[in-house]
Structure 1
Amino acid sequence: MNPLPTLPLPDLTGFTHRWVDGIHAVEGGQPTGPAVVLLAGFPQTWWAWRKAMPALAGRFRVLAIDLPGQGHSDRPHDSYDTHTVASRVHAAVTALDVPKYWLAAHDIGAWVAFSLALQHEERLHGVALLDAGIPGITLPGSIPTDHRAWKTWHFAFHQVPDLPETLLAGREREYVDWFLKAKSLSPFDNAETDHYAASLAAEGGLRASLAYYRDAEESARKNRDSVARRPLTVPVLGISSSHGSIPDMAASLSPWANNVTGVVIPDAGHFIPDEQPDAVVAALTTFIAG
């Protein structure tokens, strides 16, 4: 059941909306093909993958997931550390009768994907992580104060109790618009900005989005504990972009995983699936074929 029936629900031709235990999934493609699960980050929803999904659907079974607090998934009041969220996402994928799958994830979605791989590596063929520092692994312990500060200042801001809600409530569209403009090379149109802002402004959306950052320390602790026992052995693809936040995802992840390859997408900022969907599809297809 849709937990947010008053929030507009966009459709994508060839895809069906599903809900499993409060998690929203958008499913399409080849029912018997290899399964590819897609996760998005802040301040977006599954809709971030809409340009890549039709092309992936030609060869794969595609499931784009709204994380808890995103889009049309539920917005619980606690438990946003990435290991807890990863357990919910994996349970939803399992309930949709996907025994083993490829995972591709961007930004905070990549936080969740890394933790999911640590917990359920035996259920993954491989994981692709797009332009994200991972808590406790590759995310710096302090916010830079040089020319890079504008890319990460919001990490500290989001962790401050109460103040972000006070300043952002009723101004969600302006906030989303800043991220989409400042961190991309290709412009987002007004309808796209409106969609993401509406999700953030819907009941519980702002609180839930901030909770990922407020629980980042717990995510980091659990990640460190897990990799101390053993590194990832599942194949990992690090996808960077020419104008993104992490210049070389593969290099940053290599100390923590045994099988890492990388690709840099040209002419893209942080929002790689929106800005260069064909290049992302090509990278994922090559990764899966390899």
Structure 2
Amino acid sequence: MTDDATAPSSSCDQNPVPGLPLHDLAGFTHRWVDAEGIRLHAVEGGRPAGPTVVLLAGFPQTWWAWRKVMPGLAARFRVIAIDLPGQGHSERPRGGYDTHTVASRVQTALTALDVPKYWLVGHDVGAWVAFSLALKYEERLHGVALLDAGIPGITLPDSIPTDPDRAWKTWHFAFHLVPELPETLLTGRERDYVDWFLKVKTLSPDTFDGAEIDHYAAAVAAEGGLSASLAYYRDAAESARRNHDALERGHLTVPVLGVSGSHGSIPDMAASIGPWAANATGAVIPQAGHFIPDEQPEATVKVLTAFIDYERAE
């Protein structure tokens, strides 16, 4: 992928996935930090003294999913996008992909980055992790925004629909759970698989160009990325169990924003999250499918900024 950004990279010798091209975003710097024995990749920029906004992407993407949103947020906030374990240029551990274990690693990374308290934003699998992180570390958060995600045990349906008009949105949850078969079928064909997700789950199938599809496919294919991506789904039952264990001790009190796309996977994120959160509000972004930050980046910045401003004024 080419771009005209010239932002410097730091500590590239710490990059655990050196074979994957590393793309820069103007005004942002790459960092790698230790997170309970593995290295996580963070991309940081914006106003150092401003409120911190942390961004977590989902399947089959990397931190690059936020590239259109980050400059808009950076005008007012310190912005940190993190590759989750197994994602992008973060290390690919052999286990520990339930969202509570991942949340602990993300929080450790943020502590290493000197982030005492922050606003958390997650999309897709990133929202899975964000929800569990809010349950574990609510005192570290000002608020959390969850974008179009079927969160295990929370907004994820108990059964996969068989109606063809709906099944295409969630069929992959069951497929990813099957041991070994997805790797057998997808190894060497990662680009075809990623291409399907990025085109079918957007309102406009030309949202992603060929270079972007190449980037995400290469990240999934690189050095255990496919197995790591699947591991989030294979550990989803454990994520759901730990979510419910935590919720038995108390519901979320931190402000929660549920963001849906007008043509996304979860029609009303706020209603889905509401039973588990004392302060949940919602927003629907028009003309967007599942990949909201890519499809409507300006609207995403506007919704997130309004959420932060409103809660800070309370």
- The gaps in structure 2 that reach 5 residues or longer are 1-13
Worse-matched range after superposition: 141-150 or 65-74: 141-150
SS of alignment partner, residue 103 of structure 1 = strand
Q: Give 2:176's match in structure 1, choosing from 125, 142, 158.
A: 158
Alpha-carbon distance in structure 2 between the residues aligned to 1:158 and 1:275: 25
Corresponding residue number in structure 1 for 2:79: 62
1:175 aligns with 2:175: no
Corresponding residue number in structure 2 for 1:229: 249
1:52 aligns with 2:69: yes
Corresponding residue number in structure 2 for 1:243: 263
Q: Give 1:8's match in structure 2, choosing from 17, 21, 30.
A: 21
Corresponding residue number in structure 1 for 2:309: 289
State the superposition RMSD in angstroms: 0.5
Corresponding residue number in structure 2 for 1:38: 55
Q: Give 2:150's match in structure 1, choosing from 130, 133, 148.
A: 133
Alpha-carbon distance in structure 2 between the residues aligned to 1:137 and 1:272: 20
Alpha-carbon distance in structure 1 between the residues aligned to 2:21 and 2:150: 31
Corresponding residue number in structure 2 for 1:99: 116
Alpha-carbon distance in structure 1 between the residues aligned to 2:231 and 2:150: 17
Q: AA paired with 2:197? A: F
Alpha-carbon distance in structure 2 between the residues aligned to 1:14 and 1:50: 11
CA shift for structure 1 position 137: 1.4
- TM-score scaled by structure 1? 0.99
1:214 aligns with 2:234: yes
SS of alignment partner, residue 148 of structure 1 = helix
SS of alignment partner, residue 129 of structure 2 = helix
1:204 aligns with 2:219: no
Alpha-carbon distance in structure 2 between the residues aligned to 1:18 and 1:93: 11
1:264 aligns with 2:281: no
Q: AA paired with 2:69? A: A
Corresponding residue number in structure 2 for 1:19: 32
SS of alignment partner, residue 151 of structure 1 = coil
| Per-residue Cα deviation, 1:56-103 (whole angstroms, up to 9, x for no partner) | 000000000000010000000001000000000011011100000000
Q: AA paired with 1:152? A: T
Alpha-carbon distance in structure 1 between the residues aligned to 2:88 and 2:154: 27
- TM-score scaled by structure 2? 0.92
| Per-residue Cα deviation, 1:20-67 (whole angstroms, up to 9, x for no partner) | 010000000000000000000000000000000001000000000000
SS of alignment partner, residue 169 of structure 2 = helix
Corresponding residue number in structure 2 for 1:111: 128
Q: AA paired with 2:182? A: P
Alpha-carbon distance in structure 1 between the residues aligned to 2:62 and 2:201: 16
SS of alignment partner, residue 94 of structure 2 = coil
Alpha-carbon distance in structure 1 between the residues aligned to 2:267 and 2:203: 15
- The gaps in structure 1 that reach 5 residues or longer are none
Report sequence identity in percent. 78
Q: How many residues of Structure 1 are paired with residues of Structure 2 in the alignment?
A: 290
